[in-house]
Amino acid sequence: MAPYRVVGTRPVRPDGLDKVTGRAQYGADIQLPGLVYGKVLRSAYPHARIKRIDASRALAHPGVVAVITGEDMPQLSSDRVAELGEGAIGLKHMSVLMLARDRVYFKGHPVAAVAATSPHVAEEALELIDVEYEPLPVVDDVLEAMRPDAPVLHEDLYTHEVGGARSSRPSNVAAHIQHLRGDIHQGFAQADVIVEREFRTQMVHQGYIEPQNATAWVSEDGRITIWTSTQGAFAVRDQVAEVLHIPAGRIRVIPLEIGGGFGGKIQVYLEPLAVLLSQKCGRPVKLVMNRAEVFQATGPGSPTYMRVKLGATRNGDIVAAEALFIYDAGAFPGSPVGAACLTGLSPYRIPHLKIDGYDVVTNKPRVQAYRAPGATTAAFAVETLIDELAERLGRDPVELRLQNAVEQGDRMTNGVAFNRIGFKEVLRAVLEHPHYRAPLPEGRHVGRGVACGFWQNWHGTSSVHLTFNPDGTVNLIEGSTDIGGSRASMAMIAAEELGLEVTDIFPVVADTANVGPNDVTGGSRVTYSTGVAVWKACQEAKAEMRKHAARLLEVEPDQVELVGTRWEVKGDPSRSVPAKRVAAALGRTNGAFVARGVSGGLQMAPGFGAHIADVEVDPETGKVQILRYTCFQDVGKAIHPSYVEGQMQGGAAQGIGWALSEEYVFDKGVMRNPTLLDYRIPTTVDLPLIECVLIEVPASDGPYGVRGVGEVPIIPPPATIANAIYRAVGVRLTELPMSPERVWRALQGEQEALAARPAAS
């Protein structure tokens, strides 16, 4: 018998019908009495000084009700700057990112915003705002940005060194991270084989289908309501509070359905503008981006320059690793280079290592998190070189990884020890899987590649409460916005614990005024941490249900137990009462009960995955066709296997897009392909059926052993496919995307030339 009645099954998701029939309300659907529409005037220059803004013609335009410019953003007082210390610079940057003041830092940077009685009038009015710019030199490459003679973007930005030291003069390098272990020189001295390469990757976008949107309404007493599509209503509340210097409690954020986020819907963009416009005109103001704005003015994933060097002994022990990760943050500091330094090399036990990471600003859109931020590119470099090591050592690449793989007690590159993890179990599953053992598909230029991915998985805090209905159904109120099907998995945990059917649980994603504090839906934390909150609330509810059940069965509470969907008298199963009937008692006003659960202080539940790709390369065109693709992942415990598989397939699909076709094509800081026609996200035509193999090694903490699963699957694809291409045609690709042109040029021996730009010091 399966240990669980509900967990591990595949019920229909509670929000499914509303979503497929168009009834679900997304951010742009919100309607309010007296609603006006906002539009943002954006810089056409990647870098320029603003000499003058004159909005008087726009303000005089019929239908225009408000105009704002950088002047309207509150400035930090000197007291507050003193209080915040270094944090003041970050806050100022966030403020300038929302609305430029005297300078624009990237094409698309907001310069002004208009609210008008129709979106068309607002758009017309944008053209009536006169802005005089003085163009400045554009810094569009990290290595150029790091040169001592490079133009400096921010006069207030100094390099933060590991340990807190600060550079003596302003720099485009915002931070330098370093992880050291052992003695790197000694390590490479022990190595019999050393591999080293440079890698470059381009800016990519999360590619969520729903554009950013925000509607705000400010009341006469200054209380603010914001409707938006977001990964975290509380995060929106707190960011708006910070940027606009408003106490967080005055802001209520109502999250609507969200059409994808992948890390890109944590940062606010439109929300503060909507608030300022509403403050000016007293009406609710809605702003919705178009696709070009989404590409150019939200936060894509970091472009990178990387150089990695690995050394191994003849018997296959990796003994030394040196890595340089330079991550492009775009216009303001904040690339995920820290995660690159943590995730790239942590999957392997390496006694000697030195990792340097740099966070560098350039005149591009300020990057944000993109699914396993920082890890995919780092793994592209590391996992390509592991493959090369295996080749040089004449070893099976999976066996070599297994030999070096970390297990419980081993340490991450930052020195923190792993708790229970399933990396070795994943690698063993690959070795035993028919796909790995099968002969290569027929074809002339066919190859099979393997690569791995590691993500630490976040936990954070979630708040949940349960209320009961008189029909025995239960409302599950949660603060986590549902992006990947979490309503379903949370309902399943509640059903499992309460002895109910999953259709008896009604999950509700509440706003910031209706549920306790709750971290964002991100970092692969929701199923784990919100799951813990649900589980805790259920234990509280069960204690109360036990009392009611005992009363109904006329015994003492310690004499009853929940068995399946019934409360039974211990030792006498013939005396029992359905759990649903007991739940109904808690839903009548005379037995009213509210259960709550808050998670926090959980252990990490790290995730590992490995992918196998069979590809065929057309040497005439350089086009890579994926013939077969299989994902392996330690998922801890799959609450709803279909949604776990969906996460794995979705992550792999995004990773494949990153590997083969997606990139921002820049021309001196100007994106030349800001449409979904020219920015090539893979379609079903480009992808095979992605097979999924779920390995369940329980996490050290939390119920059922569940682990987050959303981020790991985007990490392996670029290296997996690069390794497969190498096996197919004998060239190692070191730049993403591995577009037909790049593959063709590599086949012509031109790749080195492409990558051989000057390296950073």
Q: Which residues bind its own copies (CB under 8 A)?
A: 17-18, 21, 23, 25, 29, 31-33, 217, 219-221, 223, 234, 238, 241, 247-250, 252, 460-461, 463, 465, 467-475, 477, 504, 506, 508, 510, 512-519, 587-594, 596, 598, 600
Least Å distance, CB 587 to its own copies, is: 6
Q: Which is nearer to its own copies, 411 or 588 (CB)?
A: 588
For the CB of residue 304, give the shortest distance to its own copies in the complex, in Å.
Answer: 30
Minimum distance, C-beta of residue 590 to its own copies, in the bound complex (Å): 6
Q: Which of 572, 556, 476 is nearest to 515 (CA)?
A: 476
**Please, is 238 exposed, middle or buried when counting C-beta atoms within 10 Å of its C-beta (0-12, 13-18, 19+)?**
middle
219 vs 675, which CB is nearer to its own copies? 219
Nearer to its own copies among residue 164 and residue 247 (C-beta) = 247
Least distance from its own copies to the Cβ atom of residue 636, Å: 23
What lies within 8 Å, CB to CB, of 43 at 6+ separation is 100, 104, 106, 107, 108, 109, 110, 111, 133
Q: Which is nearer to its own copies, 531 or 587 (CB)?
A: 587
Q: Which is nearer to its own copies, 369 or 595 (CB)?
A: 595
56 versus 219: smaller Cβ distance to its own copies = 219
State the minimum distance, in angstroms, from the CB of residue 223 to its own copies.
8
Rounded Cα gap, residues 491 and 507, in angstroms: 6
The pair of three-digit structure tokens given for residue 24, joined into one six-digit string: 């679900």
Strands (E), 440-588: 446-455, 462-468, 474-478, 505-509, 560-563, 566-569, 572-578
Distance CA 714, CA 370 (A): 10
User: Would you say 243 or 360 has its CB closer to its own copies?
Assistant: 243
Quote the CA–CA distance of 429 and 576 in Å, as a whole number: 44
Best CA proximity match to 462, nearest among 516, 425, 510: 516
- What residues contact residue 746 under an 8 Å CB cut-off, 6+ apart? 622, 731, 733
Burial class (CB in 10 A: 0-12, 13-18, 19+), 413: buried
Residues near 36 by beta carbon (within 8 Å), at least 6 away in sequence: 65, 66, 115, 116, 117, 277, 281, 283, 284, 285, 286
Q: Which is nearer to its own copies, 468 or 704 (CB)?
A: 468
The 3-state secondary structure of 525-555, one letter per residue: CHHHHHHHHHHHHHHHHHHHHHHHHHHHHCC
- State the nearest-atom distance from the C-beta of 222 to its own copies, in Å: 9
CB of 369 to its own copies, least distance (A): 17
Please say which residue, 32 or 552, places its beta carbon nearer to its own copies: 32
- Say how far apart CA 229 and CA 10 lie, in whole Å: 27
Count Cα neighbours of 548 within 13 Å in the Cβ-side half-sphere: 23
CB of 517 to its own copies, least distance (A): 4
Residue 105 in tokens: 């830092």
Question: What's the min distance (Å) between Cβ of 275 and its own copies?
Answer: 15
